[in-house]
Amino acid sequence: MQNIEVPEGMNSEVLMHLMDPKNYGKLENASGVGVAVDEKTGEYVIFYSLMDDLNIIDVRFATNGCQDTVVVGSMFTEMIKGHDVEYAQNSIAKLNEKLGGATPQQQICADMVLSSFVASMMNYENLQNGKSEEMHVLKMKETCEANDEQTTL
């Protein structure tokens, strides 16, 4: 990574997560599983959380979405791993700040990741309250359908 020149206008942290995504894949022993789905495009993000009371011990995500979704998933999971839920909820605003120059479509990709996290927390809470559910699914209101002006974060 240290020999790669960062293209003008691109954040080096974004490039790092693009070249080497973190926390990608399934977490077998998850205590909460959430899915955000764009029914129009069929894109989704699955978010796996391993919880210990209110602390997030481990997280993983998976998606069939675009590279922007992978970058945001990698960045967000690295931000919240090992922290409590309140910190993670505050990290949503911090991540949105980092993505300040995102296009509307890129913001929707980010929202899918963040919504899947929220769904995983809802699944965890439902399971703790005795509800039987394999995962919690949230349907996106906005579509991440590609347009001609798509660029990388």
- In this predicted model, what pLDDT tens digit does every residue of 37-71 receive, in sequence order? 999 999 999 999 999 988 999 999 999 988 889 99
- In this predicted model, what pLDDT tens digit does every residue of 2-30 receive, in sequence order? 555 645 555 667 767 778 899 999 999 99
Mean pLDDT for the chain overall: 86
pLDDT band at 152 (very low <50, low <70, confident <90, very high): very low
Q: How far is CA 132 from CA 29, 47, 55, 125, in A?
A: 16, 18, 22, 11
Residue in the block written with tokens 């210990």: 52
- Domains of the chain, with CATH numbers? 12-139 (3.90.1010.10)
- At residue 23, the 3 state secondary structure works out as coil
Q: Which residues of 112-140 are buried (b: 16+ CB within 10 A; e: fewer)?
A: bbbbbbbbbbbbbeebeeeeeeebbbbeb
What's at 92, amino acid-wise? I
Q: What are phi and psi of 94, to 5 degrees?
A: -65, -40
- In this predicted model, what pLDDT tens digit does every residue of 79-110 receive, in sequence order? 999 999 999 989 988 887 877 677 888 888 88
